[in-house]
Structure 1
Amino acid sequence: MSQHAPIAIPAEVRSRLKALRLVPRQARGAHGIGQHASRSRGAGLEFAQYRAYEPGDALRQIDWKLYARSDRFFVRESERESPITTWVLLDASASAAQADRARPDWSRLDHACATAACVVELALQQGDRFGAIVVNGHGVQVVPAGTGPRQRDRVHLLLRGVQAHGGWPPLDALRPVWERVQAGHLLVALGDGFDEANTVLLERLAAARREVLQVQLLSAEERDFPFAQGHRFEDPETGEALLGDGRAIRDGYLARFDQAQRALQARLQAAGIAHALGYLDQPLDTPLGVLFGTGRRAWA
């Protein structure tokens, strides 16, 4: 995906997103916490107000009788229970530039940005607030939370311009995350899950009553290790390199990788962080279905 290309969601993925819901555990009564009683304007049942139509609004929300009287399009906003604010936290460190040889034009960063766009669509279709945070070696970039199609455009603008660079900054440089993501907000972290600073941040946010979910995005080659000949393996963030015969080290790699994954999942579960795996050769919504589908399986 080029820097200025639109973030396209495949039609079949967009169709499946309609069956998903961004519902925090607190709103579902997890851990003994009941449903929130606060209210927001969205596509609910109790009428709240009119606002001017914006491109991307559902046609069913247009008040056609009012249009007949005024010759202008207005959308009916309604009040509904349990409003949420959703954030996407994007790991754009140097390792996000990794891609599979089978599809070198589709990197982990491309997949993460497109997945973030899917989360934004879910928040938009619910009428909820949403924002975006990008972290890489340059620091932290934030689109403050907002609502509506124009807010989606702001998030897309940030995502289209992001580039993979450097490593994670120290925790004291991540203050903008703490300033924006408030207690009770829902945060969806997208990245490879290999940065210790990232995991520590998610643990601390969860301990501070933020609803934290991690979508771990891995390449097919990280999963399958298909290398059969001599190969140079290089860490894009540290520059460390390893020369080895792929066939000879494959079993050992897969065993260590599985062990590392189990350790990460246990750590996230202990912190109360939901976790779902996605791979670059899978549909964008595969991990979102685990987290937000009717048969959720990733809750800690």
Structure 2
Amino acid sequence: MAPALIPPDVRSRLQGLRLDARRAMGGKGIGAHRSRSRGAGLEFSQYRAYEPGDEPRQIDWKLYARSDRFFVREAERESPLTVWLLLDASASMAQPDRAHPARRRMDAAKGIAACVAELALRQGDRFGMIGLREDGLQLLPPSHGPRGRDRLWLALHALEAQGGFPQDGRLGAAWERIAAQDLVVLLSDGFDDGAVALAERLAAAGREVLFVQVLTTDERDFPFDGGHLFRDPETGETLPGDGRAMRNDYLQRFAEAQRALDARLDAAGIVHARHVLDEPLDQPLRQLFAPPERT
């Protein structure tokens, strides 16, 4: 039996977290998100000019009698959200912690994705997944409910990190599937420019994008002493060096790179959080989805 993606203590702490998007969402059905929908709704919002395709029952005939123009009543309604979980599945995501070899970056990304899906499930929202790998995208169309969660868990367990990040030509399925009103949660180590560029492109196209960077403790702390051979898991390139002699320079460069990434995401309007493998899986979700504290 495959191990649970969400530890029991993390599952209990998901209570009180709520998926939410900054923009009004459109959709069909009853869900947990307020949206301005065209059609009969739950609460009157405003009038707007009639457009071809509007239902005649939406027309305000009394207003027509006074103005000799067609207006429809636009309402706000509770509408489900579609959440897309985009997982960087390039080889660097298989990186383990040196002190804990069984703890891989990809495992944490899968666990965080499962947590987001659990929040969506509780709210009646839909959730789908795209595994991003250079040999092709692994697509799970959006669904909802316990059966949808089971399918997602199977897809997450089957997803393996290997190769490089896909080139633009292979990302067509993402553009075709992700609608303007959908919420995108992209999980990556943030080291490949392609993943960051994808987030920027989706945001520029009007998608709501959240970026979760997943790091190992080795990358954060650089706990290497003596001679060591550093290897890039995607290119195979190696760099020999003395860990102790390299530490200060590495930590300075790493901090600069993190500040540059934060600035790039901020400039694109992308809300982001960072997760290190020795932290609880729900820690980045609390940054993204915890309700604001009341003063």
- 1:136 positional shift: 1.3
Quote the residue 1:12 is aligned against.
9
CA displacement at 1:204 relative to structure 2:
0.7
For 1:202 and 1:43, how far apart are their aligned partners in 2? 25
3-state SS of paired residue (2:147): helix
Identity %: 57
Whole-angstrom distance in 1 between the partners of 2:181 and 2:26: 13
Equivalent residue of 1:41, what SS?
coil
Counterpart selection for 2:254 from 230, 254, 257: 257
Counterpart amino acid of 2:290?
G
112, 115, 124: which one pairs with 2:121?
Answer: 124
Distance 1:233 1:95, change over 3 A: same
Taking structure 1 as the reference length, what is the TM-score of the superposition? Answer: 0.80
CA distance in structure 1 between the aligned counterparts of 2:111 and 2:226, rounded to whole angstroms: 33
The match for 2:284 is 287
Unaligned 5+ runs, structure 2:
34-41, 43-75
SS of equivalent to 1:215: strand
Deviation at 1:12, TM superposition (A): 1.5
Tell me if 1:171 matches 2:132.
no
Equivalence for 2:244: 247
Partner Cα distance (1:247, 1:43) in 2: 52
Q: Which residue of 1 aligns with 2:146?
A: 149
Residues 80, 126 of structure 1: CA spacing in aligned structure 2 closer, same or farther, 3 A cutoff? farther
Residue in 2 that maps onto 1:81: 78
**What is the CA–CA distance in structure 2 between the aligned matches of 1:138 and 1:37, rounded to whole Å?**
34
Shift of 1:295: 3.4
Instruction: Sort the Cα spacing of 1:110 and 1:38 in 2 relative to 1 into closer, same or farther, 3 A.
Output: closer
> 1:226 Cα shift?
0.7
Matched length = 252
Q: Which runs of 4+ in 1 moved over 2 A?
A: 35-44
Paired position in structure 2 for 1:207: 204
1:42 Cα deviation after fit: 4.4
Q: Is the 8 A contact 1:7 1:113 kept in 2?
A: no
Change (3 A) 1:238 1:43: closer
Counterparts of 2:234 and 2:77, CA distance in 1 = 45
State whether residues 27 and 81 of structure 2, in contact with CA within 8 Å, keep that contact through their aligned partners in structure 1. no
Query: How big is the shift at 1:82?
Result: 3.9
Q: TM-score, normalised by structure 2?
A: 0.81
Paired residue secondary structure (1:164)? coil
Q: 1:239 to 1:128 in 2, by over 3 A?
A: same
| Alpha-carbon spacing, 1:102–1:20, altered in 2? closer, same or farther (3 Å) | same
TM-superposed deviation, 1:252? 0.3
Q: Distance in 2 between matches of 1:276 and 1:150?
A: 29
Indicate conservation of the 8 Å contact 1:43/1:80, yes or no.
no
Contact 1:37 1:81 in 2 (8 A): no
Show structure 1 runs of 5+ residues with no match: 27-34, 49-78
Q: Which of 175, 182, 185 does residue 185 from structure 1 map onto?
A: 182
Q: Please say if residues 7 and 160 of structure 1, whose CA atoms lie closer than 8 Å, have aligned partners that are also in contact.
A: no
